[in-house]
Structure 1
Amino acid sequence: MTRTLTVGLDGSPESRAAAEWAAREAQLLGLPLKLVQVWEPVPAPMAQAPLLGPETHQHWTERTTRETAEGIRLRHLGLDVITERLSGRPAEALTGAAKDAELLVLGSRGLSGVGGFMVGSVGLSVVAHAERPVVLVRAGEQAADEHEMDPVGIPSAAAPFRPVVLGLDTESPDEELIAFAFAAAVRRSTSLRVVHGWNPPPYYAYGLSVDLELHGELARSETTALAEVLLPWCKKFPDVEVAEESSYGSPGNQLVDASREASLVVVGRRIRRSPFGAHIGSVTHTVLHHSTAPVAVVPHN
């Protein structure tokens, strides 16, 4: 069965921005685009109200999906657009829809006056439980936002893509995560910027700020470790220009800073099947809420 690039659609500006981003990505991947509308049954008391009954709700959701699909077909000629309507709780339905998707794309509200996302409970739940990559896209995201500035200082869709940014932990590097980031850079014909933030072991921390020699030794060790992890991937993708950045400090903050010049930020999430405990690591959580570029969360074992 051919995988699709699937996007969750609810008629909001956030989901429409996600659908536009997903359409562009589907064309880069050469895959069909599936628009999924989740219809949550109207509670019985509300169903009795003539303007809020299930028939009205169903008509509105079907119209939203149909109009969005028609608009995408007009703007992205040749793209195969499929629509699907699911019933149930949105987070559960979208997590299920992700199983057969190459990517699942969701919209996320931009914080007013502040760079970054406002990730709702549905988005966080899907990111935490989906076993396929999930991309969060800001409301208002335009194609030109992913590209470099033109000669007069305006982002242009005709200009090259900005770099893809990968957040990498050298202590437990995952092949799926790294492969996803390199492939994203290849599709965009752009470079890959690999960001590795590190902090010293606790028994070093107190003396590090005054011991410059120790700081330099640890920095060289971390830089070497990053280069060793990436070496086979650079050989596998010789056409991708790779910028390696290993810096002392918070990985999450460094990735947020890097997102300002990125077309896409790629981070990982370790799959945890236990119903208890956190399912989104602190670095990924920080990036989800504060990145100014679309964020791809790649689950891995």
Structure 2
Amino acid sequence: MPSTIVVGVDGSPASRAAVDWAARRALRFGSEIRLVHSVPEIWAPPFGPTSTDADGPAARALDAARARVAALLPAAAVHTSIRRGDPAVVLGDLSQDAGMVVVGADKPADARGEGFGAVGLQIVTHSACTVAIIPSAATHGSGVVVGVDGSPEADRALRAAAGEAEASGQALTIVHAAADPGYGRPRTAHDESGVPTTAERGERVLDAAAALVGARHPRVEVHRVLDMARSPAEALAVAAEGAALVVVGSRGRESVKHVRPGAIGPVVLARIACPMLVTTGAAGAM
């Protein structure tokens, strides 16, 4: 059975872009779509039955979202639901049985990619499957960009990105940032003889990544970027200019304990204008 794509809906421009993107992907892969509007519990009274005041707007937002996908998908492939709770928690729960969660890019970050309160980041840290974060403005770029650092999380992202590139017939750009994200300068190598320099270590990471892609996807055109001056988030943002898709890896639920400058948080919140896939390595990830 095709994996379900869960889409967070709130009626915003970014949400509409997410619905459109998910509909096109569902058509491509033969997936079903579940449109979900979450109503925070804070809207409910402290005592007595749960209020339904928010259900009317939620239902209208879901109806509008369903209408957006009606031209692409048969009615039987689209499901809607209103759920109670925080959006990140609700979508995280639903991710257990989904192939992908799709949300709009809800909050722009500053030039440094700061501002850890964004819902998109919270959903990434709660999700058990790949999360797609879609900007509200339509993009018409080309190429897939992925960040690598030799970690298992980055390798999973690399495999996903290579698959996306092959399926779409686009080139793949592999990016490795060799700068210290805390200080914005290249990490220096030791002076001992035989110890690789920072650039050499970066080239080795890129060599391994390119070899992995070549072995599994020999038809994919691969470009390499070794960025010696920027943090991972900044390097990806620069490489993603004009791209169709960016892919990054995350520890998923474990990343709640590891959000720090240079990790997944700044990448999710960076000014990246194209759709982004954040892989978690879950078995159900698409």
TM over 0.5: yes
Q: Residues 150-178 of structure 1, C-alpha deviation per residue, up to 9 Å, x if partnerless?
A: xxxxxxxxxxxx11100000255644222
Larger RCO of the pair (alpha carbons < 8 Å, separation 6+): 2
The 3-state SS of whatever aligns with 1:282 is coil
User: In the alignment, is the contact (CA less than 8 A) between 1:164 and 1:262 conserved in 2?
Assistant: yes
Q: 1:274, CA displacement in angstroms? A: 8.7
Q: Could you say which residue in structure 2 is the equivalent of 1:293?
A: 274
Change (3 A) 1:182 1:216: same
Deviates further, 53-62 or 111-120: 111-120
Q: Residues 78-132 of structure 1, C-alpha deviation per residue, up to 9 Å, x if partnerless?
A: 5832222222222211111111111101112464998989775432221112121
User: In the alignment, is the contact (CA less than 8 A) between 1:108 and 1:119 conserved in 2?
Assistant: no
Q: Structure 1 stretches (4+) deviating beyond 6 angstroms?
A: 45-48, 112-119
Structure 2 Cα separation of the partners of residues 124 and 110 of structure 1: 10
Q: 1:45, CA displacement in angstroms? A: 7.1
Change (3 A) 1:43 1:164: same
Larger Rg: 1
Q: Could you say which residue in structure 1 is the equivalent of 2:66?
A: 69
Structure 2 Cα separation of the partners of residues 8 and 78 of structure 1: 20
Root-mean-square deviation (Å): 3.5
List aligned pairs for 1:220-259, cutoff 5 A: 220-249=200-229, 250-259=231-240
Change (3 A) 1:251 1:8: same
Q: 1:236, CA displacement in angstroms? A: 1.3
Change (3 A) 1:54 1:272: closer
Q: Could you say which residue in structure 2 is the equivalent of 1:158?
A: none
Structure 2 Cα separation of the partners of residues 199 and 114 of structure 1: 17
Structure 2 Cα separation of the partners of residues 77 and 300 of structure 1: 28
User: In the alignment, is the contact (CA less than 8 A) between 2:113 and 2:233 conserved in 1?
Assistant: no
User: In the alignment, is the contact (CA less than 8 A) between 2:83 and 2:90 conserved in 1?
Assistant: yes
Structure 2 Cα separation of the partners of residues 9 and 38 of structure 1: 8
Q: Could you say which residue in structure 2 is the equivalent of 1:43?
A: 44
List aligned pairs for 1:1-301, cutoff 5 A: 2-41=2-41, 42-44=43-45, 54-74=51-71, 76-78=72-74, 80-109=77-106, 111=108, 120-139=117-136, 141-142=137-138, 145-147=139-141, 162-170=142-150, 172=152, 174-199=154-179, 217-249=197-229, 250-271=231-252, 273=254, 277-279=257-259, 282-290=262-270, 291-300=272-281
Q: Could you say which residue in structure 2 is the equivalent of 1:150?
A: none
Percent of residue pairs identical: 27
Change (3 A) 1:175 1:244: same
Structure 1 Cα separation of the partners of residues 113 and 30 of structure 2: 29
TM-score normalised by the chain length of structure 1:
0.76
Amino acid at match of 1:278: H
Structure 1 Cα separation of the partners of residues 218 and 125 of structure 2: 33
Change (3 A) 1:216 1:15: same
Q: 1:8, CA displacement in angstroms? A: 0.4
Amino acid at match of 2:44: P
Change (3 A) 1:23 1:16: same
User: In the alignment, is the contact (CA less than 8 A) between 1:191 and 1:240 conserved in 2?
Assistant: yes
Amino acid at match of 2:93: G
Change (3 A) 1:23 1:207: closer
Gaps of 5+ in 1: 148-161
Change (3 A) 1:205 1:7: closer
Gaps of 5+ in 2: none
- Matched length: 272
Amino acid at match of 1:292: A
Q: Residues 229-257 of structure 1, C-alpha deviation per residue, up to 9 Å, x if partnerless?
A: 33132121111111122231322211110
The 3-state SS of whatever aligns with 1:59 is helix
Amino acid at match of 2:58: T
Change (3 A) 1:59 1:278: same
User: In the alignment, is the contact (CA less than 8 A) between 1:109 and 1:118 conserved in 2?
Assistant: no
